[in-house]
């Protein structure tokens, strides 16, 4: 096994464990916090590791740019960069849209959970897929089907949750100057072309993989 493969396996395995911890921890806490009407407490508990893990994913842009993986550097930057902007310029900067006591904060909590769970489930599947592929040279049929079908509901949930948080930051954020409002508005409008573009890209990949699997089955 090459040094490159060993590094990529280690990176993907670490990312798998981090997202697994974030997702499982969130799911386990949900029933008790919901019963006590304290869902907003998840923000303080989850955000530190979430922000660190999402930042770590920026390495994937470097991996693509250096040719360590076959992914497009541009598409990877759009996906990873967009999520990091939501984390650092919305979630971190405007905690009140999630932890406040108003009606809008209830939506903020829902959007925050939508991001955490949609991102988490997607990344657990994705990184697990890469670990299996890099370790064995192939992936089980069930894992391929899971990876190329799970995004169908998860991607729209994550996208709408991200856009929802950006909208709340724009309309309810404390101390938002004109420049920052322009930035948030631009970010919100970016979802219109970027969302369908990325979803179409993933659908295209899905068709190719399902066609290959169908050929192998026959």
Q: In the predicted model, is pLDDT for residue 218 greater than 70? A: no
For residue 205, pLDDT over 60 is answered with yes
What pLDDT is attached to residue 140?
Answer: 92
* 188 pLDDT higher than 60: yes
Q: Report the pLDDT averaged over residues 109-130.
A: 97
Which residues have a catalytic role annotated?
Answer: 155, 162
User: For a pLDDT cut of 90, what percent of the chain falls above it?
Assistant: 86
Query: What would the 3-class secondary structure string for the chain be?
Result: CCHHHHHHHHHHHHHHHHHHHHHHHHHHHHHHHHHCCCCCHHHHHHHHHHHHHHHHCCHHHHHHHHCCCCCCHHHHHHHHHHHHHHHHHHHCCCCHHHHCCCHHHHHHHHHHHHHHHHHHHHHHHHHHHHHHHHHHCCCCHHHHHHHHHHHHHHHHHHHHHHHHHHHHHHHHCCCCCHHHHHHHHHHHHHHHHHHHHHHHHHHHHHHHHHHHHHHHHC
Whether residue 195 has pLDDT greater than 80: yes
Categorize the per-residue pLDDT at 217 as very low, low, confident or very high, splitting at 50, 70 and 90: low
Check whether 10 has a pLDDT greater than 60. yes
pLDDT (tens digit per residue) in 24-76: 999 999 999 999 999 999 999 999 999 999 999 999 999 999 999 998 999 89
Supply the pLDDT for residue 103.
80
């Amino acid at each position: 096994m090459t040094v490159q493969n060993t590094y990529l396996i280690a990176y993907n395995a670490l990312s798998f464990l981090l997202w697994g911890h974030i997702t499982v921890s969130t799911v386990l806490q949900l029933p008790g916090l919901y019963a006590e009407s304290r869902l907003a407490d998840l923000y303080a508990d989850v955000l530190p590791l979430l922000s660190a893990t999402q930042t770590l994913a920026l390495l994937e842009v470097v991996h693509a740019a250096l040719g360590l993986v076959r992914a497009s550097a541009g598409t990877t930057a759009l996906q990873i960069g967009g999520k990091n902007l939501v984390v650092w310029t919305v979630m971190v900067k405007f905690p009140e849209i999630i932890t406040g006591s108003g009606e809008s904060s209830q939506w903020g909590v829902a959007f925050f959970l939508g991001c955490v769970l949609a991102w988490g489930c997607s990344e657990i599947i994705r990184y697990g897929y890469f670990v299996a592929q890099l370790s064995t040279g192939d992936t089980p049929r069930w894992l391929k089907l899971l990876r190329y079908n799970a995004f169908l509901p998860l991607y729209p949930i994550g996208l709408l949750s991200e856009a929802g948080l950006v909208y709340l930051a724009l309309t309810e954020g404390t101390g938002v100057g004109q420049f920052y409002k322009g930035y948030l508005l631009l970010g919100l409008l970016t979802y219109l072309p970027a969302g369908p573009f990325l979803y179409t890209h993933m659908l295209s990949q899905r068709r190719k993989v399902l066609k290959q699997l169908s050929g192998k089955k026959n």
